[in-house]
Amino acid sequence: MEWVNAVVQGTLLGGLYALFAAGLSLIFGVMRLVNIAHGDMIVLGAYLGLSVTAILGIHPLMALIIVVPCMAVIGYVLQRSILNQTLGGDLLPPLLVTFGLSVILQNALLEIYTADPQKMNAGSLETASVSVGGLSLGVLPLLTFAIAVAVIAALQWTFYRTALGRAFRATSDNQEIAQLMGLNRRHIFGLAMALALGVTAIAGIMLGIRTSFDPSIGGGRLIFGFEAVIIGGLGNLWGTLAGGVILGVAQTVGAKIDPGWQLLAGHLVFLAILAVRPNGLFPRISG
């Protein structure tokens, strides 16, 4: 039963990791952009959520209504004004630019919000639980997992059932030909980044309700996001969810053996999968 509990709790934790990873997966899938600043953008989302709840006095989940569009606009502007300039055959310039963005974001947040840890107060939601077959499951982790599944499903639907998704896939397959067919790839990339940062805002707020955050924690979250994307397979959204769950379960099962193993076990599983299947478990595109 304890092992079952470890696996179930790990699965729910995986929902949070999948939310961290979804934005990364999307950006890489559409424009082959490795966003080093993703972790800091999650933290930015959390801080925007904190500001909105503090100013308007609303529940953190309600703050999503404001924070998600805000982050989407930031994403579009960022892509059109900066990141589009770096895209080309070479993978290195966007990597370096996002690395710089990460440093700038961290220091800007430090300047505005100081290094003090903050937390969003979601009231009784934080401690509520339901009992399922002898296991006590927190409502908040369940909600996080449900949101992760919903977000992945919505992204998947957008990708394969809408004109926008078709445009995403077309630019992803061949930018020049998509351009010839009348798609403005700069605009398409802007929209992809907007969508990705919208998802990142959700991840940031769920993180901010679950635990405390400060401007420096982005890097650690970036690693979990990357690991989930790579375990699941590049460019595959459902794979990203699976990757998040595998990572979460590895951590809790590792912690079951010894709490010191919690983070290490996650990294070891990631390394093992990378060694056996360098493209991840369910790759859609070759790396």
Contact residues: another protein, CB under 8 A? 2, 5-6, 9-10, 13, 16, 110, 114-117, 119, 121, 123, 126-129, 131, 136-141, 210-212, 214, 217, 220, 248, 251-252, 255-256, 258-260, 262-263
First to last CA, the chain: 39
C-alpha distances (whole Å) from 235 to each of 73, 106, 181, 207, 267 are 23, 27, 23, 24, 21
Smaller CB distance to another protein: residue 139 or 183? Answer: 139
In contact, 62 and 239? CB cutoff 8 Å: no
Smaller CB distance to another protein: residue 83 or 143? Answer: 143
Q: CA quadruple 131, 132, 134, 137: dihedral positive or negative? A: negative
Smaller CB distance to another protein: residue 267 or 284? Answer: 267
Smaller CB distance to another protein: residue 78 or 245? Answer: 245
Residue type, 100: G
Residue 35 CB, shortest distance to another protein, in Å, is: 21
Residue 179 CB, shortest distance to another protein, in Å, is: 43
Cα diameter, the chain: 59
- What does the angle CA 155 – CA 36 – CA 156 come to, to the nearest 5 degrees? 10
Residue 57 CB, shortest distance to another protein, in Å, is: 16
- What does the angle CA 249 – CA 68 – CA 184 come to, to the nearest 5 degrees? 105
Smaller CB distance to another protein: residue 15 or 233? Answer: 15
In contact, 144 and 204? CB cutoff 8 Å: no
Residue 210 CB, shortest distance to another protein, in Å, is: 7
Residue 180 CB, shortest distance to another protein, in Å, is: 47
DSSP code at position 35: -
Smaller CB distance to another protein: residue 200 or 251? Answer: 251
- 129 bridge partner residues: 138
Residue 59 CB, shortest distance to another protein, in Å, is: 14
